[in-house]
């Protein structure tokens, strides 16, 4: 169960993840060089997943999957724009095939030459447009307040429902594979299911940390001492609680945390929290990170490790990594259309972050692809 930071009660609205109400555009990491042996295509797709789009390109252009590069996966139930690289040798075939591609819901918006093939992660982030329906006027004041907090204070970087499959149980299959209780011939599917299990553990850890932060925010030092001991099964000293409550941000940095320069830079570990590091987080210059557990990863230490231990699994043989625990949406704007009871949102998120988590943070409850919440 995911826990959210800014509301004690839920807000209800209707959200449909569709091409009309959910629009995603990739933000490239850098400008294209306009020379080289590759073509970078900016493609708008509708009703297609990224693998389905790649298969269409392979069929139409007569190339192999490994010749096509892409930076990230984009939702099927959305109108999405992303960048794809193909060999320059396919240019003539591409020009001849644009009508065919258009008939298959693929429209090429621009073409540039570039030195290298696009690889996973080669993007700055994504911009989003989302339309919410059945938004009640009496909820607007609270909605605007939460959106302002998200804009200035950030939001949790949970993995969204898309990560866990139609029935939300992919992580259970991944856990069985990691524990040697299940084996699949399809290595790609096996890796995907294990990554779903890693994502589940990350979400559980992040929810645990947000619960800590909620207690620190809403209770006195003495009450927080008792609440943390009872509900989180961890005993902090009164001095530790006082120091944590003194941080300006909702999400608290702990001694021993892994931190990352934001939005780009290096990962580093903080032995003991200082006022300087707390201020850097408050200014959006660094963020705490959580573990996607696996091999060859350095764990946090001290208090941060205490809050991490229950969400580690030494049986995961895949490589581990770190992920932002907290992100700061950029250019967040919103508009209420009273006659339709619609709320339109636009914003940008760093790569790997889910727009639907912003909606969940607003609603204070979990969503699915088509939800009355």
The pairing of beta strand 258-261 with beta strand 330-337: unpaired
Measured between alpha carbons, how far is 113 from 35 in angstroms, rounded to an integer? 5
Helix (H) or strand (E) holding 144: helix 140-153
User: For the residues of 72-133, what is the DSSP string, one character each?
Assistant: ----SSSEEEEEEEEEGGGHHHHHHTHHHHHHTTEEEEEEEEESS---TT-EEEEEEEEEEB
Distance (Å) of CA 15 to CA 12, 231, 240, 250: 10, 33, 41, 27
Q: Cβ distance 322 to 260 under 8 Å?
A: yes
Element (H, E) at 61: helix 50-61
- Asked if 21 and 370 count as a contact pair (C-beta separation under 8 A), the reply is no
d(CA 311, CA 353): 21
Task: Kindly report the backbone phi and psi dihedral angles of residue 219, in degrees, each rounded to the nearest multiple of 5, phi listed first.
Answer: -130, 160
Return the SS3 of 348. Answer: strand
Catalytically annotated residue among 75, 255, 257, 293: 75
CA–CA distance, 284 with 249 (Å, rounded to integer)? 10
Structural contact between residues 286 and 268, judged by C-beta atoms closer than 8 angstroms: no
* 130 close to 166: Cβ distance less than 8 angstroms: no
Task: Identify the H or E element spanning 45.
Answer: strand 38-46
75 is catalytic: yes
CA-wise closest residue to 286 among 327, 321, 331:
327
What is the distance between the alpha carbons of residues 151 and 345, in angstroms, rounded to a whole number? Answer: 12
- The catalytic site residues sit at 75
């Amino acid at each position: 169960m995911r826990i959210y930071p800014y509301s004690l009660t839920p807000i209800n609205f209707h959200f449909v993840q569709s091409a009309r109400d959910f629009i995603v555009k990739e933000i490239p990491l850098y400008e294209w060089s306009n020379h080289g042996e590759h073509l970078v295509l900016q493609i708008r797709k509708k009703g297609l997943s990224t693998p389905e789009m790649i298969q269409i390109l392979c069929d139409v252009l007569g190339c192999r999957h490994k010749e096509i590069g892409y930076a990230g996966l984009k939702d099927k139930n959305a109108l999405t724009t992303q960048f794809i690289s193909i060999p320059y040798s396919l240019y003539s075939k591409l020009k001849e095939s644009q009508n065919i591609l258009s008939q298959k819901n693929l429209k090429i918006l621009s073409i540039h030459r570039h030195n290298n093939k696009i690889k996973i992660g080669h993007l700055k982030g994504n911009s989003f447009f989302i339309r919410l329906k059945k938004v009640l006027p009496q909820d607007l004041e609270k909605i605007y307040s939460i959106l302002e907090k998200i804009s200035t204070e950030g939001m949790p970087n949970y993995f969204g429902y898309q990560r866990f499959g139609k029935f939300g149980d992919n992580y259970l299959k991944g856990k069985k594979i990691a524990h040697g209780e299940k084996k699949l011939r399809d290595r790609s599917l096996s890796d995907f299911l294990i990554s779903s299990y890693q994502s589940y553990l990350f979400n559980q850890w992040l929810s645990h940390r947000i619960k800590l932060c909620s207690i620190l925010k809403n209770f006195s030092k003495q009450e927080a001492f008792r609440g943390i001991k009872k509900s989180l099964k961890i005993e902090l000293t009164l001095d530790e609680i006082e120091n944590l409550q003194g941080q300006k941000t909702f999400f608290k940095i702990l001694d021993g945390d892994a931190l990352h320069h934001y939005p780009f830079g290096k990962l580093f570990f903080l032995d003991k929290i200082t006022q300087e590091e707390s201020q850097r987080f408050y200014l959006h210059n660094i963020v705490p990170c959580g573990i996607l557990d696996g091999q060859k990863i350095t764990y946090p230490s001290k208090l941060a490790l205490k809050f991490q231990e229950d969400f580690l699994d030494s049986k995961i043989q895949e490589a581990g990594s770190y992920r932002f625990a907290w992100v700061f949406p950029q250019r967040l704007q919103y508009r209420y259309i009273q006659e339709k009871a619609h709320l339109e949102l636009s914003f940008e998120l760093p790569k790997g972050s889910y727009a639907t988590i912003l909606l969940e943070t607003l609603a204070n409850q979990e969503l699915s692809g088509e939800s009355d919440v």
